[in-house]
Amino acid sequence: MALLVMKFGGTSVADLDRIRNVAMHVKREVDAGNRCAVVVSAMAGQTNQLVEWTRGASSIHDAREYDAVLASGEQVTSGLLAITLQSLGITARSWLGWQIPIRTNNDHGIARIEAIEAGNLRERINDGEVAVIAGFQGIGPNGRITTLGRGGSDTSAVAIAAALGADCCDIYTDVDGVYTTDPRIVPKSQRIDKIAYEEMLEMASLGAKVLQTRSVEMAMVHRVSVRVRSSFDDPDSCPAVGSAGSAIVPGTLVCDEDDILEQRVVSGIAYAKDEAKITLLGVADKPGVAAKVFGPLADSNVNVDMIVQNVSADGTSTDMTFTVPAGDFERSRRVLESARDKIGYTDLRGALDIVKVSIIGVGMRSHAGVAAQMFSALADKGINIEAISTSEIKISVLIDAAYAELAVRTLHSLYGLDAE
Amino acid sequence: MALLVMKFGGTSVADLDRIRNVAMHVKREVDAGNRCAVVVSAMAGQTNQLVEWTRGASSIHDAREYDAVLASGEQVTSGLLAITLQSLGITARSWLGWQIPIRTNNDHGIARIEAIEAGNLRERINDGEVAVIAGFQGIGPNGRITTLGRGGSDTSAVAIAAALGADCCDIYTDVDGVYTTDPRIVPKSQRIDKIAYEEMLEMASLGAKVLQTRSVEMAMVHRVSVRVRSSFDDPDSCPAVGSAGSAIVPGTLVCDEDDILEQRVVSGIAYAKDEAKITLLGVADKPGVAAKVFGPLADSNVNVDMIVQNVSADGTSTDMTFTVPAGDFERSRRVLESARDKIGYTDLRGALDIVKVSIIGVGMRSHAGVAAQMFSALADKGINIEAISTSEIKISVLIDAAYAELAVRTLHSLYGLDAE
């Protein structure tokens, strides 16, 4: 018998049929003797409708009211799923954030969970009742409803799993796991059975939009095993979690790297298309220039990613290249143009036709030459690297968008990730 | 300066435009220096959508989950109105039932308000903040969300007015007040300026669907002045409540009869078409028969209204006629047919083509001959009275539905209610 947290996102509860399907997944686990807490998002489309209404009511809206309006979406699905479970003969009740309570800080719209007082919840679950919990929401210090930001239901699920000491947190989504890379680009990509938290963090923040970054961070801190699996699998043909061993449960387990016996050097290839490149030409090559460039961007909440500065040929001026999110491109350009006199540059060039390709793997730590291998493989294909950034378990390169697929396929083969 | 409760129903908050219109009504009162608590229903159509979902999830649904789902509708409108008020420069916040809290009993779906702990709410209102309160909802003894049943937002508004000691509870609806009778039948009907609680109760329960019966009962018990007025009036051209005197505020004031200086004998004519008549022929004329007839109906939750039993000609058997709600007609017939042997009757006849017409007025108490006048006026028009029931302030007759309009018009003229 295991204590499970099961989380279902918006597409998994999009209508009554999908909610019934979710109930069947829960029933399978209950029938196998597992204890379950189920975390649900709002029905797909509902949150957008509610956001549209709040924006329509006023362009500047009180974040506390925004949260009260938005949290209603999960309230609806938690009640509907509880009703559906009951109709299958399963004891179940819905829990709203304030009822548990899930205590958060006061940052409405992007609140952080501070504590979950799970005593009452745990007691009911131990008595065999399925807890259906409205995700994405909590209660702030002033007794107002808070929300955790987009994708916050993943975070709710992991936090609840940590608070309950659950054996696993199963995140049901519309894909059946985390892949070595995007299967649309590389048909030979494979589902990863186990991935380390650190790797998943890099995958998530680099564009593999399977799990919310914050939820992975939280899982890592609290050592919660998270499994990414599909709600579109037939509920009845999936094996239940538990005695038969979790190895046969389909999906990707995100866990501690020590729990992964056979660690590859590179676990996955990620790419991110929503980046933009900005180059400032003729910047003075002297101390303080970088601060003059990136200060105004930071003040405008633009998150600068990769930065490359060439050594100047003449010792007086140089070129500086960096990337920003594509959505912030125009704003960045305006900020830099209005600061032109202060910074001092001869020209500004921007490009949106670039892509960031990354290789990720905790195995890199103990393997030398991984980067050199990558650069030479790309060079062999005639792909020019415009910028490089590295961390302990990741190497990212910025290249022309036209070469994105070629680069991803090349690297996928290079590190032995292609399926047989 | 007055302390006002303003209540807006579903059609008054049906979309963002209507919500903005509501905000303008509130702004008018705030600008005049009044303190305001605003109670809102769900956007028109939303509650039906939510009900449909809960029914779709399971034909038998847990009333506690039903309440959690339904209460989300008012949560949305309270947040949206607070945002809209803020955009007009008005300090406002939304309050959910559990936040105030509005404590109810545990009868989910039809909960009764037991206490409103309004201390915090009152303090914020006294500080000049507009309280936007989600109607229709409260919190039960177990910390679960409860709802007050259809039309419960009227009850929320009156209960909050009582708890706050408000000067008036303005119920904004899609009509501009209570009329002497249905204007669609009698174009000469007039809006009533003031009506006693007792009269309004009879009007409401007899088919004038302006105010929820329970809210009128509660207003009577707590002596809350309730004004029925239209949210479709131009917000700017209405006078604000307060210094200029409430007499010029458009609408109908429901108040204590002592507060009505010029009391008419008959205040209004009501009619109800949704009744059905059942006649049992050849019932034994002996003690205990009535119990045998009405016992099984009561057990089936059928609410029997008018009862007429003729004196028997031969001393052994008689006919018994009574009315039930039209919606309960078929069920009543089945109950009585299955109890036929036990009751003992020779035949059962039923009819749906009947109407109940009533005259209402607290002035009847001190005026003799009102009933005689009514019966003779109907007789003059050739209208046959099939049953009669009376109370201190009401006389109802059951007649053939074909004569409904004629009867209402005749009585409206008879008691001097026609506009000049």
**Averaged pLDDT, B16-35:** 96
pLDDT for res B118: 95
CB A19 within 8 A of CB A81: yes
Cis peptide before A101 (omega within 30 of 0): yes
pLDDT for res A207: 63
Please state, for a pLDDT cut of 70, what percent of chain A lies above it.
Answer: 97
- Average pLDDT value over all residues in chain B: 92
- What distance in Å separates the CA atoms of residue B53 and residue A43, rounded to the nearest whole number? 12
Q: Evaluate if pTM is beyond 0.90.
A: no
Q: Which value does ipTM take for this structure? A: 0.82
**Averaged pLDDT, A49-59:** 93
User: Does residue B247 have a pLDDT over 80?
Assistant: no
Contacts 24+ apart (CB under 8 A), B247-250: B250/B176, B250/B177
Question: Is A86 within 8 Å of B61 when comparing Cβ atoms?
Answer: yes
pLDDT for res A120: 95
A290 by DSSP, 3-state: which?
helix
User: Does residue B413 have a pLDDT over 70?
Assistant: yes
- Of B71, B87, B96, residue with least CA distance to B26: B87
Q: Tell me the residues of B at the A interface, defined by beta carbons under 8 Å apart.
A: 16, 19-20, 50, 53-54, 56-62, 64-66, 68-69, 71-73, 75-76, 78-84, 86-87, 93-94, 96, 98-99, 143-145
Segment A59-115, tens digit of pLDDT:
888 999 999 999 999 999 999 999 999 999 999 999 999 999 999 999 999 999 999
Strands B168-173 and B3-8 come out as parallel
**Averaged pLDDT, B19-29:** 97
Strands A354-360 and A268-272 come out as antiparallel
Give the class (CATH, top level) of A3-258.
Answer: alpha beta
Interface test with B, best of A80, A95, A120, A146 (most B CBs within 10 A): A80
For residue A14, give the chain B residue with the closest CA. Answer: B53
Please state, for a pLDDT cut of 70, what percent of chain B lies above it.
Answer: 97
Q: Tell me the residues of A at the B interface, defined by beta carbons under 8 Å apart.
A: 16, 19-20, 50, 53-54, 56-62, 64-66, 68-69, 71-73, 75-76, 78-84, 86-87, 93-94, 96, 98-99, 143-145
Q: Hey, which of A260-264, A340-344, B110-114 has the most confident mean pLDDT?
A: B110-114
Q: Which of A314-323, B45-54, B84-93, B133-142 has the lowest mean pLDDT?
A: A314-323
pLDDT for res B389: 86
Question: Is B71 within 8 Å of A75 when comparing Cβ atoms?
Answer: yes
pLDDT for res B207: 64
Q: Degrees (nearest 5) of the Cα angle A283, A287, A290? A: 55
pLDDT for res A15: 96
Choices 3.30.2130.10, 3.40.605.10, 3.40.30.10, 3.40.50.2300: CATH for A263-420: 3.30.2130.10
Report which of residues A56 and B366 the model is more confident about: A56
User: Does residue B227 have a pLDDT over 60?
Assistant: yes
Domain spans in chain A, listed from the N-terminal domain onward:
3-258, 263-420
Partner-chain residue, chosen from A50, A68, A75, that has the shortest CB–CB distance to B68:
A75
Question: Is B82 within 8 Å of A65 when comparing Cβ atoms?
Answer: yes
Report which of residues A85 and B260 the model is more confident about: A85
Report which of residues B150 and B48 the model is more confident about: B48
Segment A230-252, tens digit of pLDDT:
998 888 888 888 755 555 788 99
Q: What are phi and psi of A40, to 5 degrees?
A: -120, 150
